[in-house]
Amino acid sequence: MNAPLHLPLVSVKDLSVEFHGSRHAKALSQVSFDLKAGEVLGLLGESGSGKSVTLRTLLKLHSPKTTRVSGQIQVDGIDVMALQGRPLDAYRGGIVSMVFQEAGLAFDPVYTIGQQITEVIRAHESISETAARSQALHMLERVQIPQAKRRFDAYPHELSGGMRQRAMIALALACKPKLLLADEPTTALDATVQIQILLLLRELQRETGMAVIFVTHDIGAAVEVADRIAVMYAGRIVEENSVAGMVHAARHPYSAGLLASTVSSENRGQPLRAIPGSPPNLADLPAGCSFAPRCAHASAQCHAESPTMVNSDNTRIACWHPLAQLPVTL
């Protein structure tokens, strides 16, 4: 099923996720966003803000025994919340794929890289093993793995971190998904390899026309890859804007704080302006705005009432006292 041309490829409405294990935690609260085909959305925020939970919920990876999910998820005209069994298997990998944060953990250590990519292709396409192997090898070449034929028969532990991450991207793109979920794909890599992977992802995205949701805590990486940025805090999207709009005129105090704490040539030799305090415990969220205890602009209303998301000057923002549109230097 394909979504009508006038509708977004991805539509998430009031998505909430609660975990019920030894402790109760509200991981996502009324998250909403749309994503057009061919667009890249960056999810930005500190650890624990709900970025990875959002991606895993889009793939229905959370155990229904310990997770309560509410809201609506539509991807390419498919009601994701209703998927089960074979339709869910076809959706994972065929419509939506994911590049995980740790490629070494995502691959099965007892099978070669080539075997695993070939298996994914054959699970979604009715082709022979020979054709699937040829297609898998082509994907390794496409993600610029040197000596791809040799790496095809290598086990995950025999590849460097950068090569494993490229192989993970090849695995995710093997069945030509319409949406790629990238969960901090450069976190465990050194700076040079990080840049290479970011440029590769952007090149492949433009070449294939797929949509991408890119999770990161690095504003520099988001600027390099994304068209729009959504800033998350304590399980909520607190601000969403274009990359230029976010970098030059962040309206939410948390967004501005993330930008101000980023290393740049402009603040060389000066101490970074770190955001005071730490993120709240998701099992015991404060009343009102979750960022209020760390916010210099918080009022009594902020501590008592949770702000609703509103559209303001091409920005979606949830804040009772948004900042004036003054330029922020990155």
User: pLDDT tens digits, residue range 63-118?
Assistant: 999 999 999 999 999 999 999 999 999 999 999 999 988 777 789 999 999 999 99
Residue 102: per-residue pLDDT:
79
- How does pLDDT run across 135-169, given as a tens digit for each residue? 999 999 989 899 999 999 999 999 988 889 899 99
Hunting for tokens 């396409």 — which residue is that? 125
Q: Is the pLDDT of residue 330 over 50?
A: no
Residue 52: per-residue pLDDT:
94
Q: Which are the contacts of 271, defined by CB distance < 8 A and separation ≥ 6?
A: none
Residue 166 lies in a domain: yes
Pair of tokens at residue 118: 């070939």
Question: What amino acid is encoded at 225 in this protein?
Answer: V
What are the CA-CA distances from residue 226 to residues 198, 201, 216, 289, 306 (Å)? 10, 11, 11, 27, 28
According to DSSP, residue 265 is labeled: G
Hunting for tokens 């890859």 — which residue is that? 225
Pair of tokens at residue 13: 């409405």
Residue 280 lies in a domain: no
Nearest to 55 by CA among 67, 71, 73, 68: 73
Q: How far apart are the first and last CA of the chain?
A: 42
Q: Roughly what angle, to the nearest 10 degrees, separates helices 113-124 and 161-173?
A: 10
What are the CA-CA distances from residue 175 to residues 91, 94, 141, 170, 256 (Å)? 11, 6, 15, 9, 39
Yes or no: say if 80 and 52 are a contact pair by the CB < 8 Å rule. no
Radius of gyration of the chain (CA): 21
Mean pLDDT rounded to a whole number for the chain: 89
Residue 120 lies in a domain: yes
What are the CA-CA distances from residue 277 to residues 262, 294, 302 (Å)? 17, 6, 17
Residue 20 lies in a domain: no
Yes or no: say if 233 and 289 are a contact pair by the CB < 8 Å rule. no
Q: Give kind and range of the element (H or E) at residue 29.
A: strand 24-35
Mean pLDDT (whole number) for 239-253: 92
Residue 260: per-residue pLDDT:
85
- Domain enclosing residue 159, as ranges: 106-176
Residue 131 lies in a domain: yes
**How far apart are the C-alpha atoms of 45 and 47, rounded to whole Å?**
7
Residue 14 lies in a domain: no
**How far apart are the C-alpha atoms of 77 and 83, rounded to whole Å?**
12
Residue 295 lies in a domain: no
Yes or no: say if 218 and 51 are a contact pair by the CB < 8 Å rule. no
**How far apart are the C-alpha atoms of 35 and 227, rounded to whole Å?**
10
Highest mean pLDDT among 52-56, 181-185, 308-312: 52-56
Backbone angles phi, psi at 266, to 5 degrees: -70, -30
Residue 140 lies in a domain: yes
Hunting for tokens 């030509």 — which residue is that? 176
**How many domains, the chain?**
1
